Amino acid sequence: MPDAGAATDRVLLVLIALILGLAEAALQSTLSASAGLPHAITWAGPMVQAAALASLVGFAELISRYKDAPLTAVLTPAGLVYILVQASAASAVYQLIHNGNVVAADGAKNRALTEVLTAAFGTAAFLRSAFFTVRMDGKDIGLGPALLWQTLLDATDRAVDRARAAPRSDIIRAIMAGIDFDRAAAALPEFCFHLMQNVSSDERKSMATQVAELRAADMDPLAKTFNLGLNLLNVVGERVLREAVWALGAQIKGPASASIAVIAGLRRVSFASDAGTLAQACLTISASNAMQRDELDRRVQAIAKTSLKDDEKLLLLAIELLNLFGDGVVSAALKFFSTPAVVAAPAGGHG
């Protein structure tokens, strides 16, 4: 099964490379033109160059705010508008600087470069500036362009959050199914942070506080588990969380309970011939989504690769299915296999 996280990272790197390439080409063109060199890149005019550099600033800001899915945040309509507004503002500022002859005449040699850099990074700084600060309701509020820019950023945050809500829910349901909060509360965050290597001390302290609050909360254990997963997803992202849960395995999973109906049904199932059908039946009955299908496929393949006996593999599969779907769904799925074979009576009757 393809690694969705790796594919997302590759696309993100391609986008970053494209924007950096455009910015580099823009600067090379500007430097060549300002130095009077031939063969300057004429397709990237100074206004486009300023817009490209300003877009890079907005792009970097967005991907730093959404660690679990930076590419998704950038590609939402709100994220694209956020970047476009910054690029458009830089283009307008460049026109003002260029047409107003802001750059001194004695600096004409580097005038183009100065105008582009001033428009791109000056716009970014200006939009985030405040003329003065007032305190309202216990909060410091900057009055000036920063207020409007913060409003746009807040709107982008809300739009991205709405777009990411359902996918994040699906991710957590797939990854954290069967995880016991009490077992995972200490081990899972620490293991995730060691996998990441560069998690800051502030993020570690914040996570410790969140875990302590979840421990003390009057909340269903499953809800605690899902909230723990969401908190970790914000810091380490989907791929690291998935790998950490898979690596820790039984150490953080709760006991799987099976009814008599499930136990009886498993006696009529073979892992080698029925694993795929049983898994598909559970997915169909539970109306699962693509995320859960991929996760179950990943787990079935991992069990199949082990050197265990068929009945041992079947037991592991049953535990995974019970953790993912619960006893009711697995019991219903096993009914497809629970009809005893009918043996025909020999011809000739009574002898």
Burial 5-18 (b: 16+ CB within 10 A, else e): beebeeebeebbee
- Sign of the torsion angle spanned by Cα atoms 212, 217, 222, 228: negative
Average pLDDT on 101-127 reads 72
**Which pLDDT score, from 0 to 100, does residue 209 have?**
93
Q: What is the pLDDT of residues 11-47, one digit of tens each?
A: 555 555 555 555 555 555 555 555 554 444 444 577 8
For 115-144, write each residue's pLDDT tens digit.
788 888 888 888 777 776 666 666 666 677
Question: Residue 87: its pLDDT value, please?
Answer: 86
Kindly report the average pLDDT of the chain as a whole number.
77
The H-assigned helical ranges of the chain are 4-34, 46-65, 70-75, 77-99, 111-127, 145-175, 181-196, 201-216, 221-248, 260-266, 271-285, 290-304, 310-325, 327-334
Return the top range by mean pLDDT from 151-165, 214-228, 277-291. Answer: 214-228
Per-domain residue ranges of the chain: 4-153, 176-251, 260-334
Q: How many residues does the chain have?
A: 351
Q: CB of 253 within 8 A of CB of 180? A: yes
Collapsed DSSP state (helix, strand, coil) of residue 143? strand
Does residue 10 surpass a pLDDT of 70? no
> Which of 75-84, 223-232, 247-256, 268-277 is least confident?
247-256
**pLDDT on residue 21:** 58
Dihedral sign (CA 295, 301, 307, 310): positive
Element (H, E) at 140: strand 139-143
For the chain, the distance separating the N- and C-terminal CA atoms, rounded to the nearest angstrom, is 59
Q: pTM of the full predicted structure?
A: 0.59
